[in-house]
Amino acid sequence: MDLEILQGIISIIIILGVAPLFAGMVNKQKAVLTGRVGAPILQPYYELQRLIKKETINASGSSFISRISPLINLVTLIIAAAMLPVGFWKPLISFDGDIILFAYILGLVRFFQILAAMDIGSSFEGMGAAREATFALFAEPIFFFTIGSISFISGFTSLYDIYHSIQLTNISYEVFIIICSISVFMLAVTECSRMPVDDPNTHLELTMIHEVMILDNSGIDLFLYQYSSYVKLFIYAILEVSFFYPFSKQSYLIGIIIFITGAIALTFLLGVVETITSRYRMKNIPQYLLFATAIGILNLLIYTFTK
Amino acid sequence: MKSLEVQNNQCFDRAAIQFLDRDDFRNSVSELMQNNCRMIALTPVDVNNGRKIIAVLADSSSSMIHMVGGDFREGKLEFESWANDFPQTNYFECELSENYGYVPLNHPWLRPVRKQNVILKNKPYQFFKLEGEEVHEVAVGPIHAGVIEPGHFRFQCHGELVYNLEINLGYQHRGVEELLLKANQNQRIILSESIAGDTTIGHVFAHCNAIENLSNTQLSLRAEVIRTIASEIERIAMHLSALGGIANDVGFALPASSYGRLRTLAINSLAAICGSRFGRGLFVYGGVRFDLNETIINTVVENLKIINDDVREINKYLFSSVGALSRFEETGIVNTNLAKSIGLVGLAARASGIEEDTRINFPYGAYRYNPISMITLATGDVFARARMRAIEIEETIRFVFDQIENIPQGEIKSEHGRMAANSGVVSIVEGCRGEIVHIVFTDEARVLSNYKIKDPSFNNWYGLSLALRETAISDFPLCNKSFDLSYAGHDL
């Protein structure tokens, strides 16, 4: 019992500690693929270190929502991280039906971010909030139709149990998991505002979705937002990599190897996608998201009929 | 004919301009514009005497420049505005009004061009406003999130759709024209090099042409060719950087960084010629300061060969990418009729199907002997403007190779004489964005009495604001980059 809690705490520490490194690796991959040297892999840590030293300035017209939102952001993400199984370890929070909590805890993050953006009262932030809310509407079904369909098939409703139900013995289940991982990848791209939905490197206020909402934040607030976005990206990375664990073997060595190679492969994949695709037109993004949902629905149908 | 007709770079006597009374003046200008002339300047002959103005109009089909004088010494400084019939004069009238206190009657929307306080008499400017419950206003700039020049953009939107965009500029106003009047001979070149940082050669070329023709200085053929080569290399560099910007704005990382890499090669070629990557210090009155020798030619040719080979590959990649094309096509359309009526110039005009290239319509320098091909595209969208650049780079490289191969021998610098008294000259040069106009007048003491500059951006900002209508606001940066206009060139 005590060991499980310890393992859960270590999992959270791993997620919180490694998250910026993952973001740094994606950026490095992207730089190398476009023929540049790029910033060091540890750059996100330096950025965070820089931000934490800076003074926090709040927009003059903003209320307490803007002040508490960054903290709520990080705390809720830590709770989400606590529900995520890292490797074979049981997460700190795990109960039947926790996928619903997980999905809406991430929803809460977005809710407060949108509120905070509207709170500042600038037209930019309002525009970003409108876009975020619109695209979130299309992104939510992706989660439920992919993770939800695995849950439906396996009969479990907790993330830990769902992942442990993946036994790579049944071929049709294997194909199913691979296709599900594609939709989760598309979901991750959307939720973490990366290409081709949102460009994290752009300086153009009018095209931003996520970045424009935090345009007026600085210092600790920006640190919290920035750190939350790294954690969020890493949470989705774990969601993705966990599909490929050898759950039937329960070998720690293979587990660690798969975790590391999976994460590196994912940075590579994100890097490639961001290098060779251009951003979609804003009005075409819902189509892209509906496509990911369609994959989920199709999967569910195929599994139901071939079982 | 009541107008004085001159050619590009032809020195004329100020006394040859006939100054008409206000009604005659207005009608003559209208008549010329009816006959497909484009307004290129509306300015007094002497800055100290604002009551005698001239309208300068260019006729591309006959390669002639018409000058119509207007005498406003009696009565009020008022004239009936042309802008309702010919929107191209809109900005010129605003500019005249701002600088010399003229009132264009029935002008549709008189607004400040560079100096916020003159027309408005210190009242804050009222932007065009759209009313309605779902309408919202977005104000961008003048301080932007990136390191770019300052400009204020005011969007009236309905959701993501832009209904009206107003562009307010003038934050870079340095008073270049006034400075040029006061400057001595050596300072003038340096000043004209810094009118717009990215069109150094374009502006200094126009300036040198104007001053040399005022003082009847003949250039050697070799000097002309070196100038032309430098100006074409600048065009290659600017087109590459604009294409890189366009790719970057749709988040297409691979072409963006490749164009960036190639641009360095282009500006390094300029550095090989004159020691400055932007071509500063190359031009002097009467020729150029640096000659081309074997090693320089080899470096330039080698660099251009790499650009030529690589740019084809990257263009193929960019213009065959479905994602990029879906962003470019049918975004920010300026159709041919609209482009004509608002007087678009240069690359943006050619992308809208107007056959308008100063190098061909008003040939100067080495273009008089070595023609360059006219390239136009019909659609007038972001795609056309991006594709234009890609095609122009290839054509320009061909032209430069041609020039380098047949470079004439001779001196690179000839004696520069004194400027003629009581004269004027209109010098038009095709910069990388389009038509650069420098109009110079001297008085009886052989001192400059007016120096008027028109950067292509002055015309084309208007095009950008119209291109945005009914376009998604998130496509603004892409449209903006496809025009790639200069703030400094507009603000002077």
Residue A217: what pLDDT? 84
Q: What is the CATH number of the domain that holds B230?
A: 1.10.645.10
Instruction: Name the band, by pLDDT with cuts 50, 70 and 90, for residue A305.
Output: confident
A126-154 mean pLDDT: 84
Residue B12 lies in a domain: yes
Does one domain contain both B75 and B198?
A: no
Going by their DSSP bridges, the two strands B103-105 and B78-80 should be labelled as parallel
Which residue on chain B is closest to A195 by alpha carbon?
B251
Which residue on chain A is closest to B319 by alpha carbon?
A278
Nearest to A278 among B258, B321, B473 (CB): B321
A65-88 mean pLDDT: 87
Instruction: Name the band, by pLDDT with cuts 50, 70 and 90, for residue B1.
Output: low
Whole-angstrom Cα distance, residue B305 to residue B292?
A: 18
pLDDT at B307 over 80: yes
Residue A2: what pLDDT? 78
Continuous segment of H or E residues that includes residue B396: helix B382-405
- A215 or A173: which leads in pLDDT: A215
Does one domain contain both B186 and B88?
A: no
pLDDT at A42 over 90: yes
Instruction: Name the band, by pLDDT with cuts 50, 70 and 90, for residue A263.
Output: confident
Number of domains in chain A: 1
B448-477 mean pLDDT: 89
Which residue on chain A is closest to B158 by alpha carbon?
A127
B258-272 mean pLDDT: 91
Query: Chain B closest CA to A193's CA: distance in Å?
Result: 13
The range of the structural domain enclosing residue B267 comes to 176-456
Q: What is the mean pLDDT of chain B?
A: 88
Q: Phi then psi for B423, rounded to 5 degrees?
A: -125, 175
pLDDT at B78 over 70: yes
Burial of A171 (0-12, 13-18, 19+ CB in 10 A): exposed
pLDDT at A205 over 80: no
pLDDT at B239 over 90: yes
Residue A82 has a CB neighbour count (10 Å cut-off) of 18
Q: Are A162 and A99 in contact (CB under 8 A)?
A: yes
Nearest to A275 among B139, B250, B253 (CB): B253
pLDDT at B237 over 90: yes
Residue B14 lies in a domain: yes
Whole-angstrom Cα distance, residue A65 to residue A125?
A: 14
Q: Which residue matches tokens 């090693």?
A: B295
Residue A172: what pLDDT? 67
Among A145-149, B204-208, B347-351, which is the least confidently predicted range? A145-149
Residue B119: what pLDDT? 65
Enter the DSSP assignment of B434: S
What string of H, E and C letters represents the secondary structure of B151-220?
CEEEEEEECCEEEEEEEECCCCCCCHHHHHHHCCHHHHHHHHHCCCHHHHHHHHHHHHHHHHHHCCCCCC
- Read off the pTM: 0.89
Q: Which of B54, B176, B47, B37 has the alpha carbon at shortest distance from B100?
A: B47
Interface test with B, best of A30, A33, A34, A204 (most B CBs within 10 A): A204
pLDDT in tens, B85-130: 888 888 888 888 888 888 888 888 888 888 877 666 777 778 888 8
Residue B490 lies in a domain: no
Residue B345 lies in a domain: yes
pLDDT in tens, A88-108: 777 888 888 888 898 888 889
pLDDT at B267 over 70: yes
Q: Are A67 and A218 in contact (CB under 8 A)?
A: no
Q: CB contact, 8 Å: B415 with chain A?
A: no
pLDDT at A154 over 80: no
pLDDT at A292 over 90: no
Q: Which of B53, B104, B103, B66 has the alpha carbon at shortest distance from B82?
A: B104
Q: Are B102 and B79 in contact (CB under 8 A)?
A: yes
Q: Phi then psi for B428, rounded to 5 degrees?
A: -115, 135
Residue B170 lies in a domain: no
Which residue on chain B is closest to A278 by alpha carbon?
B252
CB contacts of B145 in chain A (<8 Å) are 203-205, 215
- B201 or A208: which leads in pLDDT: B201
Interface contact A196-B323, CB threshold 8 A: yes
Does one domain contain both B94 and B229?
A: no
Residues shown for chain B: 492
Whether the bond between B363 and the residue before it is cis, its omega within 30 degrees of 0, is no
Number of domains in chain B: 2
Helix, strand and coil in chain B, % to nearest 5? 45, 20, 35
Cα B409 to chain centroid distance, Å, stands at 32
Does one domain contain both B431 and B323?
A: yes
pLDDT at B35 over 70: yes
B45-55 mean pLDDT: 85
Does one domain contain both B87 and B221?
A: no
Residue B240: what pLDDT? 93
- DSSP E strands, B223-356: 283-284, 287-288
At B397, the amino acid letter reads I
pLDDT at A170 over 90: no
pLDDT at B264 over 80: yes
Residue B306: what pLDDT? 93
Continuous segment of H or E residues that includes residue A269: helix A252-276
A214-221 mean pLDDT: 85
Cα B196 to chain centroid distance, Å, stands at 10
Q: CB contact, 8 Å: B251 with chain A?
A: yes
CB contacts of B252 in chain A (<8 Å) are 277-279
Residue B377 lies in a domain: yes
Nearest to B138 among A123, A199, A277 (CB): A123
Residue B427: what pLDDT? 92
Whole-angstrom Cα distance, residue A59 to residue A52?
A: 18
The range of the structural domain enclosing residue A255 comes to 2-306
Does one domain contain both B396 and B280?
A: yes
Residue B103: what pLDDT? 85
Whole-angstrom Cα distance, residue B464 to residue B352?
A: 13
CB contacts of B249 in chain A (<8 Å) are 202, 204, 207
* Interface predicted TM-score (ipTM): 0.83
Interface test with B, best of A278, A283, A285 (most B CBs within 10 A): A278
A168-194 mean pLDDT: 79
Q: CB contact, 8 Å: B264 with chain A?
A: no
Residue A246: what pLDDT? 64
Residue A181: what pLDDT? 84
Interface contact B253-A124, CB threshold 8 A: no
Whether the bond between B87 and the residue before it is cis, its omega within 30 degrees of 0, is no
Q: What is the CATH number of the domain that holds B77?
A: 3.30.460.80
Which residue on chain A is closest to B324 by alpha carbon?
A278
Residue B113 lies in a domain: no
pLDDT at A66 over 90: no
pLDDT in tens, B283-298: 988 888 888 888 999 9
Residue A168: what pLDDT? 58
pLDDT at A171 over 70: no
B414-431 mean pLDDT: 87
CB contacts of A215 in chain B (<8 Å) are 145
A279-287 mean pLDDT: 86
CB contacts of A118 in chain B (<8 Å) are none
Q: Phi then psi for B303, rounded to 5 degrees?
A: -60, -45
Residue B365 lies in a domain: yes
Largest CA distance in chain B: 71
End-of-domain residue from the set B70, B105, B140: B105
At B172, the amino acid letter reads Q
